[in-house]
Amino acid sequence: MRILFIADPLEHFKIYKDTTFAMMEEAHRRGHAISFAEAHQLSVEGERILVDAHDLAITDERPNWYKLGQVQRQPLSGFSAVVMRKDPPFDMEYLYASQLFTLAEAHGVKVFTSGQALRDFNEKLAILNFPELISPTLISSEAHRLRAFVKQHQDVILKPLDSMGGDSIFRVRPDDVNLSVIIENITLRGKRTIMAQRFIPEIRDGDKRILVIDGVPVEHCLARIPAAGETRGNLAAGGRGEARPLSARDRQIAETVGPELKKRGILLAGLDVIGNYLTEVNVTSPTCFREIMEQTGVNVAGLYIDALERHCQH
């Protein structure tokens, strides 16, 4: 197979924990040819969707873990699989890339995750497809509605719809002297829609990342436990990752969401679960492969490449 990874610059990878690197390493181990490009290197000429891509060789050297060949402009149709692993935010450039993927898919290119699914499955809003699994939630840009929600539920999380890694997440209460200014800032004075969720105190036990590959949950999740004095469990916000077997409720949530993910062409998703509640469905560039692999011995990257190989044989 020829696999094209579209991701952020390679020099920014922290390979000791990077999921995209784990995928690349496993694909390399199996003898697949790997190429790399950034999203801005996609283009269209006539009816051809093209990419300026480098051949990528994985080395055993550290920190110089890769070697890039000369850039070559080539059709996306020349690859067995295109794996989109660019990190959010899901801005207009991300949207344009997803639209180019949809054009390419119409010509038979296999893109993971599909352009349509990337557009349809916003990582925050996707939970609204599963109302029975979520805590009380409000989506709004209006300050008076958000303040009323905070007053009703007393302890609330506010977060934007397009960020990652715990960025710009606020925990607020009705008596917070900064409540109005927080709402003003996070909504850009009513111009940006956000999510409000009732605070789930079980965050102290960890914000669990459940990986779902081709509709099937990985047997272990990663509980991301907040640092002292923190509300957020995200590893990027200083949380500590602890691999655990799925609980009965974890499995119930994953088995409810999994078939819908598979139907929509989402090969990999990261479900975020706090306590008994689904809080996010991450589809752009889900992480935590490396932590689960190192703590449990389960080859999560192998499960992913297995799925990729199956889909490329069809």
CATH for 178: 3.30.1490.20
- Of 198, 213, 248, which one is at a domain's C-terminal end? 198
Last residue of a domain, one of 198, 233, 250: 198
Q: Per the structure, how many domains does the chain have? A: 3
Please give the backbone phi and psi of residue 65, each rounded to the nearest 5 degrees, phi first: -85, -5
* Alpha carbon distance 90, 103 (integer Å): 19
170/108 same-domain check: no
Indicate if 162 and 218 belong to the same structural domain: no
Same domain? 188 vs 206 = no
User: What pLDDT, on the 0 to 100 scale, is given for residue 263?
Assistant: 94
- The domain of 160 spans 136-198
Task: Give average pLDDT by consecutive 10-residue segment, the chain, 314 residues.
Answer: 97 95 98 97 94 97 94 97 93 94 96 94 93 98 98 96 77 96 96 96 93 98 83 67 96 98 96 96 95 97 98 87
Going from the C-alpha of 5 to that of each of 29, 156, 162, the distances in angstroms are 16, 38, 22
161 and 83 within one domain: no
- The answer to whether 39 and 93 have CB atoms below 8 angstroms apart is yes
pTM: 0.92
81 and 178 share one domain: no
Do 206 and 309 reside in the same domain of the chain?
yes
Q: CA 129 to CA 278: how far, in whole Å?
A: 11
Is 259 found in the same domain as 180? no
Last residue of a domain, one of 174, 198, 222: 198
Catalytic residues: 124, 159, 209, 224, 232, 272, 280, 282
Report the CATH number that the domain containing residue 212 is assigned in CATH.
3.30.470.20
Residue 310, CA distances (Å) to 1, 80, 213, 214, 306 in order: 11, 11, 12, 10, 6
CATH of the domain at 18: 3.40.50.20
Domain co-membership, 33 together with 107: yes
Preceding peptide of 245 cis, ω within 30°: no
Examine the domain organization and report whether 21 and 83 are in the same domain: yes
Do 9 and 111 belong together in one domain?
Answer: yes
Return the residue matching tokens 């090969």.
Answer: 267
DSSP the chain: -EEEEE-S-GGG--TTT-HHHHHHHHHHHTT-EEEEE-GGGEEEETTEEEEEEEEEEE-S-SS--EEE---EEEEGGGSSEEEE-PPSP--HHHHHHHHHHHHHHHTT--EES-HHHHHH--TTGGGGG-GGGS-SEEEE--HHHHHHHHHHHSSEEEEESS--TTTT-EEE-TT-TTHHHHHHHHTTTTTS-EEEEE--GGGGG-EEEEEEETTEE-SEEEEEEPPTT-S---GGGT-EEEEEEPPHHHHHHHHHHHHHHHHTT-SEEEEEEETTEEEEEE-SS---HHHHHHHH---HHHHHHHHHHHHHH-
194 and 212 in a common domain: no
* Alpha carbons 139 and 161: distance in angstroms, whole number: 9
Examine the domain organization and report whether 7 and 105 are in the same domain: yes
